[in-house]
Chains A and B, each alone.
Chain A
Amino acid sequence: MRVTSRRDAVAAEIPRLRRYARALVGDSSEADDLIQDTLERALARLGQWRDGDSPRKWLFSILHNLHVDGLRRRSRRPPHVGLDSLGPDQSAPAADGASGGDLDRALQLLTADQREVVLLVGLEGLSYAETAEVLSIPIGTVMSRLARGRDRLRTLLAYGLEKEAEPAGLRRVK
């Protein structure tokens, strides 16, 4: 494929990348920084994208790697309390009723691993196999993170939205 058409293909993915990044990091300027870095790296490495491969998958994996690097850098800064380490039981249930903000916040309370899988599958519509490739993990891991992430997300949303809901009732009865 020609370089120009590769660039076009990369550009065509910008809206999707931004959507994913927004949901992933929860903050729009931080998300756009991540996209800038992703585009920069992608355009510098157009040659690594194999013909016939989906540009989306390739770009999502670049974004993933940059995101993970960013998380690592941040985790070395001691005073910052990682949201990822916060569970629903440690944080007070949201008191402000149903709003879109609940979803943003609930997502940020998942572990980064869970959030990525929940979003790649649920928001971006990637298959489990594609998600596994993007994140360089086995499909079984995709499935278990997905199940745990969704479970937790539903619990968090139910806590915030309907305080009377019992978390146990959300689980599938075995």
Chain B
Amino acid sequence: MSGGRRVSEAELHAFVDGELVGEEAAEVEAALATAPEDLRFARAIADLNDRLTQHYAHVLDEPIPAGMAARAARANRSGRRWPPAVTRALGIVALLLAGAAAGYAAGAFIGRGEAGRQPAFVANAFSAHQVFVPEVRHPVEVGAAEEKHLVQWLTRRLGTDVRAPELNGHGWKLVGGRLLPDRGQAAAQFMYEDATGRRLTLYVRKEAGLTDAAFRFAERGDCAAFYWIDRSLAYALAGRLERTELMQLASSIHAQLGGLSGGQG
């Protein structure tokens, strides 16, 4: 594509930083193939990010100073101890570092764009969405008519309370759900359909090692997703929807499920 437009410097930064998704990212990627100067520039930025991450990685592994922990504990009148949270945080760090290393080893210079910064469950959610949504006869294993059974079954298999959020008010009815394998663990997929036949999936998986995370947006092909982590449960809501519509649905789901595992907090 030699006639392609010149990519701006700002776009190159944005590309490396994972700010571009879908077509925008593909466009820059294509342009880089024929612009060695730009490619060098993008690599240099990615290297800089990488250098920063590696140089300060050790801080994450340092024990929390006693004074800091003590101050936090003093403020913690409920008497709950910090160590579990801190251990959990260190676990996440290990996970993040492993992920970053794997991404780097894979030879992708692109940094945290589509792959590195995105937790693995998001890719699985996209795949499961794309495989099952076109299904006419067997889109789900257990249909909405047996919702109670579905929920009990998935709760047992995931080892945590799972619920199918209610989206009728938004015009989406539950089709049903299924159990899926995800890196040796069980994951659940709920499918919804609107009056025009569009389908949405909600992917749920236990992620004990990751901290809570607010909504993040991801795209694969023409499929969009919002994903978040709430008290050790990872969610990804995927569909061929406008971002704003998807966001509304994700917010509704987040609000409905927010109190679900609150008892342990």
Contact = CB atoms under 8 A, between A and B. Distances in A.
A150 B13 CA distance: 10
Contacts of B52: 23, 103, 118-119, 122-123
Given A32-B68, A128-B19, A15 B93 contact: yes
A10 to B, nearest CB: 8
A122 B17 CA distance: 7
B85 A16 contact: no
B98 interface: no
A84 B34 CA distance: 38
19 contacts: A1-B265, A2-B262, A7-B72, A9-B211, A16-B60, A19-B56, A19-B60, A22-B59, A23-B52, A36-B67, A56-B211, A56-B213, A122-B53, A123-B49, A123-B53, A128-B19, A154-B44, A172-B37, A173-B37
A18 B57 CA distance: 11
Given A52-B258, A153-B48, A19 B59 contact: yes
Contact of B214 (A15, A44, A53, A123): A53
Contacts of A12: 85-86, 88-89, 92, 211
B243 interface: no
B14 interface: yes
Contacts of A13: 89, 211
A18 B63 CA distance: 11
A118 B258 CA distance: 34
Interface in B144-159: none
Name the residue in B41, B84, B211 with the highest tally of chain A Cβ atoms < 10 Å from its Cβ: B211
Which one of B37, B93, B213, B265 has the greatest number of beta carbons of chain A within 10 Å? B265
A36 B75 CA distance: 12
Nearest to A23: B56
Contacts of B262: 1-2, 5
Interface string A41-63: 00110000001111111000000
Interface residues of B, number: 58
A11 B66 CA distance: 13
A5 B53 CA distance: 28
A110 interface: no
A100 interface: yes
Closest 4 CB pairs of A and B: A5-B265, A54-B214, A43-B75, A11-B85
Given A7-B72, A122-B17, A122-B48, 5 more contacts: A4-B80, A15-B59, A15-B62, A122-B49, A123-B56
A14 B64 contact: yes
Contact of B17 (A9, A32, A54, A121): A121
A146 B12 CA distance: 12
Given A19-B60, A103-B51, A8 B80 contact: yes
Most buried by A among B52, B88, B211, B258: B52
A25 interface: no
Given A11-B72, A39-B71, A18 B19 contact: no
B86 A14 contact: yes
Interface in B140-186: none
